[in-house]
Structure 1
């Protein structure tokens, strides 16, 4: 996944109060789309230090925290151990480089991850294959923001364009909404965030 080297360096100081707050807001947006998930499995894709997934782990039968950064994974492992969470596991893997054939799940969520992914269509296609029939992909990310200029991340997404791309891949029943606007939350700029739910 994009920018792994940068996340390796900041893993042990990643959990700022701002990131914890944004993760809480993102978790609640995701939670609003969960239906009868107690017997279902989930993947927190691009989980970082697990801030979002740990807010949702009790909603599922089991959860895999997946990221490309070993340092981030170590933070998650420590939290899982400290909190004595029994239904969680970790996987260090890069979906941008290869497919993960042994993985299947009912729910995948990714919060502020898509903007780091260079080839969006390829990764969304690979995630589609990992989902069980009827499974859900939930994306939380930034709305397109022309004030953000960066060579390392996308400057957000237009929801309608993302829906069109996902329908082309095979996702259906796609719904999305902007749910949060914050001050200086995206590369030092004011920005809004959307949540998108799509089904296989």
Structure 2
């Protein structure tokens, strides 16, 4: 996944008050989209230190924390051990380089992850294949922001354009809304975030 080297370096100090707050509001947005998840399995895709997935653990039968950064995964493993969590597991894996044909999930959620992925369609297709029939992909990310200029991340996403890209892959029932506005939260710029729900 994009920018793995950067995340390797900051993993140990990633859980700042600002990131914890963004993860909290992201988790609540995702929780608002969940339906009948008690017996379901989920993947926290591009999970970082697991700030979002950890707060959603009680909503699912199990959560797999997946990231390309070994240092991020090490942080989650420590949290799983510290809290003696029984329904959490980890996987260090890069969907942009390999395919996991045996991996399946009822829900996949990704918070502030898509903006780091150079080939958006490719990864959306891979995730489509992982979802069980009727499964949900939930995306939390930044609305398109012309004030952000970067060589390493997308400057957010236009919700309608992203919906079209998802529909082209085969996702259906696509719904999205802006749910949060914050100061200096995206590359030092004021920005808004959306949550998008779609189904296989």
TM-score for both structures, normalised by structure 2: 1.00
- 3-state SS in 1 of match to 2:57: helix
Q: Aligned partners of 1:141, 1:99: CA distance in 2, in Å?
A: 24
Structure 2 residue runs of 5 or longer lacking an equivalent are none
2:180 is aligned to 180
Match of 1:35 in 2: 35
Equivalent residue for 1:79?
Answer: 79
Looking at structure 2, the residues matched to 145 and 27 of structure 1 have their Cα atoms a distance apart, in angstroms, of 22
Distance across 2 between alignment mates of 1:31 and 1:126: 23
Partner of 2:12: 12
Alpha-carbon shift at residue 84 of structure 1 (Å): 1.0
Q: Give the number of aligned pairs.
A: 200
**Other-structure match for 1:99:** 99
- Report what 2:195 is aligned to: 195
User: For 1:137-152, what aligned pairs fall within 5 Å after superposition?
Assistant: 137-152=137-152
SS at match of 1:108: strand
Alpha-carbon distance, 1:95 to partner = 0.6
Q: Deviations over 1:62-87 (max 9, x none)?
A: 11000000000000000011111100
C-alpha distance in 2, partners of 1:100/1:189?
Answer: 36
Q: Cα RMSD (Å) of the superposition?
A: 0.4
Distance 1:56 1:14 in 2: 19
Deviations 1:172-200 (A, max 9, x none): 00000000000000000000000000000
The whole-number CA distance in structure 2 between the counterparts of 1:138 and 1:53 is 12
After TM superposition, the score normalised by the length of structure 1 is 1.00
Partner of 2:157: 157
- Aligned-partner Cα distance in 2 for 1:102–1:66: 15
The aligned counterpart of 2:112 is 112
Q: Which runs of 4+ in 1 moved over 4 A?
A: none
In structure 1, C-alpha distance between the alignment counterparts of 2:180 and 2:85, rounded to whole Å: 29
Shift of 1:102: 1.5
> 2:21 and 2:32 mapped to 1: Cα distance?
17
Corresponding residue SS for 2:154: coil
Alignment of 1:41-60 (within 5 A): 41-60=41-60
Distance 1:104 1:153 in 2: 28
Per-residue CA deviations over 1:130-153 (Å, capped at 9, x if unaligned) read: 000000000000000000000000
Determine the structure 2 residue equivalent to 1:168: 168
